[in-house]
Amino acid sequence: MSTPPHRSAHDVEPRHPGWPARLGPLRVAAGEVALRPVRLRDAGAWSRIRLRDRAYLEEWEPNGPGSWEERNGRLAWVSQWSALRTLARRGQCLPFAITVDGEFAGQITLSNVVRGALRSAWVGYWVSATLSGRGVATAAVALAVDHTFGAASLHRLEATVRPENAASLRVLAKAGFRQEGRFRRYLQVAGDWRDHLCFAITAEEAWDGLVARLVAEGRAEAP
């Protein structure tokens, strides 16, 4: 399910295990879900969705400097994309755009990549509110996990989520993540320090592939 993007003879972008890459597609109720590297020209779609979906997203995302409008305007994407690209070129991050039928629909990022004896990363994701409950986030996580334990050569993937975030808890459960603990007052979200549950999955637990599991369970189809 993973193929490297086209690279010209003049392309000197540094390569790291599993990056850059395009993953999918995987067909779910909402359409064909795929992952690709984030692009500078995603600014318009990224800002439009996040400004529209403020009430849906702000309850779960860490506080940041400035207003929601300032942090999610088109110009804010430029600095965010630049930072993600820099980390990706250093092998510390794998930042993907989630697309549905080729259209930008959200993000999923494998960050805090540590190699050596740990070979671990953290996964975070969000999708458009119009696609909630239609299998997009689950498909994106499955694609990312399979890639993490395959081409990216990592061994462990972690995720943290607020106990109240039922939708995200369902996604992680369907993906086979198990709860490992509770982080007290872990992140400042929605104006206060919030507890988060810690989930994880290792390569041994996903040996048969999460995409294959979704297909076998009838939750998705491989085109």
What does the DSSP 8-state code read for residue 25?
A: E
What is the number of other CB atoms lying within 10 angstroms of the CB of residue 52?
A: 14
Is the pLDDT confidence value at 6 over 60?
no
C-beta separation of 173 from 197 below 8 A: no
Helices 43-52, 74-89: axis angle to 10 degrees equals: 120
Residue 4 is classified by DSSP as P
Give the alpha-carbon dihedral of 56, 157, 3, 45, to 10 degrees: 20
Q: Is the peptide bond before 4 cis (omega within 30 degrees of 0)?
A: no
Residue closest to 69 by CA, chosen among 84, 48, 42, 41:
48
145 near 205, Cβ under 8 Å? Answer: no
* Domains of the chain: residue spans and CATH: 18-216 (3.40.630.30)
State which amino acid sits at residue 124.
G
Q: Show the DSSP H helices in 31-188 as ranges.
A: 43-52, 54-57, 68-72, 74-89, 136-149, 166-174
Confidence of residue 193 (pLDDT cuts 50, 70, 90): very high
pLDDT tens across 148-189, in order? 999 999 999 999 999 999 999 999 999 999 999 999 999 999
Q: Quick one: angle between helices 166-174 and 136-149, nearest 10?
A: 50
User: In the numeric block, which tokens belong to residue 149?
Assistant: 């334990």
Per-residue pLDDT of 64-118, as tens digits, reads: 889 999 999 999 999 999 999 999 999 999 999 999 999 999 999 999 999 999 9
Spatial separation of the C-alpha atoms in residues 22 and 35, rounded to whole Å: 6
Average pLDDT, the chain: 93
